[in-house]
Copies of this chain bind each other. A is one copy, B any other.
Amino acid sequence: MARIVMKFGGTSVADLERIRTAAARVKREVEAGRQVAVVVSAMAGVTNQLVDWVRQLDPLHDAREYDAVVATGEQVTSGLMAIALQAIGVPARSWAGWQLPIHTDAMHGKARITGIERAAIDARFAQGMVAVVAGFQGIGPDNRITTLGRGGSDTSAVAVAAAIGAERCDIYTDVDGVYTADPRIVERAQKLERISYEEMFELASLGSKVLQPRSVEIAMNHRVRLAVLSSFKDVPGTLICNEDEIVEHHVVSGIAHARDEAKITVVKVADRPGIAASLFGPLADAGINVDMIVQNISPDGSSTDMTFTIGRADLDRALVVLNNARDEIGFTELRPDNKVAKVSVVGVGMRSHAGVALTMFRTLAAERINIQLITTSEIKVSVLIDEKYLELAVRALHTAYGLDG
- Among the listed stretches A53-61, A283-291, A302-310, A363-371, which one makes contact with chain B, having 4 or more residues with CB under 8 Å of it? A53-61
Complex Cα gap A84–B59 (Å)? 11
Which residues 138-162 of A have a CB within 8 angstroms of B? 143-145
Cβ B58 vs Cβ A87 within 8 A: yes
> Taking the complex as formed, is A163 at the interface, i.e. its CB lies under 8 A from any CB of chain B?
no
Which 10 residue pairs across A and B have the least CB separation, nearest first?
A: A69-B79, A72-B72, A58-B87, A68-B79, A65-B79, A65-B82, A57-B83, A65-B83, A61-B83, A58-B83
> Taking the complex as formed, is A124 at the interface, i.e. its CB lies under 8 A from any CB of chain B?
no
Known: A16-B56, A57-B16. A62 touches B82 (CB 8 A): yes
> Taking the complex as formed, is A76 at the interface, i.e. its CB lies under 8 A from any CB of chain B?
yes
Q: Which of B53, B75, B79 contacts A16 (CB 8 A)?
A: B53
Complex interface: chain B residues within 8 A of A69 (CB): 75-76, 79-80, 83
Copies of this protein chain in the complex = 2
Cβ A19 vs Cβ B83 within 8 A: no
Cβ A66 vs Cβ B79 within 8 A: yes
Closest to A52 in B: B16
Q: CB-defined interface of A38-78 with B at 8 Å, one 1/0 digit per residue?
A: 00000000000010011011100110111011001001101
> Taking the complex as formed, is A263 at the interface, i.e. its CB lies under 8 A from any CB of chain B?
no
> Taking the complex as formed, is A94 at the interface, i.e. its CB lies under 8 A from any CB of chain B?
yes
Complex Cα gap A221–B72 (Å)? 34
Cβ B57 vs Cβ A20 within 8 A: yes
